[in-house]
Amino acid sequence: MKQDLLTFADWTPEAMEQLLTLAQTIKQSPARYANVLKGKSVVALFEKPSLRTRVSFDIGINKLGGHMVYLDSQAGKLAGREDAIDVAANLSCWADAIVARVFSHRTLEQFAQAARVPVINALCDVYHPCQALADYLTIYETFGQVKGMTLAYIGDGNNVTHSLLIAGALLGCHQVVITPADHNVDQAVIKKAQSIAQSTGARITQSDNLSAAKGADILYTDTWLSMGDDTPLATIKEKFMPYQVNEALMQQSGARFVMHCQPAHRDLEITGSLIDSDSALLMTQAENRMHGQNAILTQLLGA
């Protein structure tokens, strides 16, 4: 039966560990995986803009011996010209997998149901699993372990936060999520992460107070305005500026490293000087997007 990747929420800790190991192996020995997608084509469909996801899938698929067809949003959302289920059914006539960045998680569920081939979530409103895999690969390479490390996420509770929570819980990473009170993560997602964490020993907490970041190994942040959010910048700045990830917060928390999924907004959610500092893991995260995704493609499509 075909397997999709819409979220890691239904994965076991063992499967998550194995995927992380596969990503490391592919990064270290790419030649061994050069024909995994030989003769295969992947459609990558984007309802929203992308730099990292689009390019890392395209180049990554090429490195696995496959071919990627890019479809942009053309006239906005997919829905309208034809139904999502019909788009997915048609794409399965030619493609061996569908990578999709969509506004609504529901669209991905419809795709997964209608497509005869694997569907991979390249970001939706609720999750960004490909990002989380790359991020934990980065943490593994930096510290030699993920289990027992502590990541403090600071900023808007969003799709990236949700996937970090789920994948981190599966890998045994302690996490504290610090958001302004009315920008919490989805409470169903945090409950799911906490329930996974019971079997992996991870501690998952949330707060609106920056002092909760004390003792973290890594501070992580993301944009205060996700794609499609048209809240005026002035409104958002007023609420989020106290949550800026900057040198003072690094010092107060004692964290050695800082992470951001990007696109980053210098001197808003993170200072430009911190992005440019030796503490920043941003470019390793970006590089690891490709290795993580190649592990996902190998797992879902490899012989």
Interface with ligand CP (CB under 6 A):
50-53, 123, 131, 261-263
Nearest distance from C-beta of residue 261 to ligand CP, angstroms: 4
Measured from each CB, the residue nearest to ligand CP is 53
Report what 51 binds from ligand CP, ligand NVA, none; CB cut-off 5-8 Å by kind: ligand CP
Neighbour tally for 181: CB within 10 Å? 9
| Phi, psi dihedral angles at 45 (to 5 degrees) | -115, 125
The C-alpha angle with vertex 169 and arms to 124 and 36, in degrees rounded to 5, equals 60
18/226 with CB nearer ligand NVA? 226
99/117 with CB nearer ligand CP? 99
Which residues, listed in sequence order, are joined to residue 218 by a DSSP beta bridge?
Answer: 151, 257
* Active site amino acids: 101, 128, 131, 222, 261, 289
Up-side HSE of residue 108: CA atoms within 13 Å toward CB?
27
Nearest distance from C-beta of residue 123 to ligand NVA, angstroms: 6
Q: How far apart are CA 108 and CA 88, in angstroms?
A: 9
Nearest distance from C-beta of residue 164 to ligand NVA, angstroms: 11
Task: Give the full edge-to-edge strand order of the sheet including 150-154.
Answer: 204-207, 174-178, 150-154, 218-221, 257-260
Q: How far apart are CA 160 and CA 153, in angstroms?
A: 10
133/196 with CB nearer ligand CP? 133
Report what 222 binds from ligand CP, ligand NVA, none; CB cut-off 5-8 Å by kind: ligand NVA
**Residue 234: strand, helix, or coil:** helix
Report what 27 binds from ligand CP, ligand NVA, none; CB cut-off 5-8 Å by kind: none
Nearest distance from C-beta of residue 159 to ligand NVA, angstroms: 5
96/156 with CB nearer ligand NVA? 156
Alpha-carbon Rg for the chain, nearest whole angstrom, is 19
Note the residues at the interface with ligand NVA (CB under 6 A).
Answer: 123, 158-160, 222-223, 226-227, 261
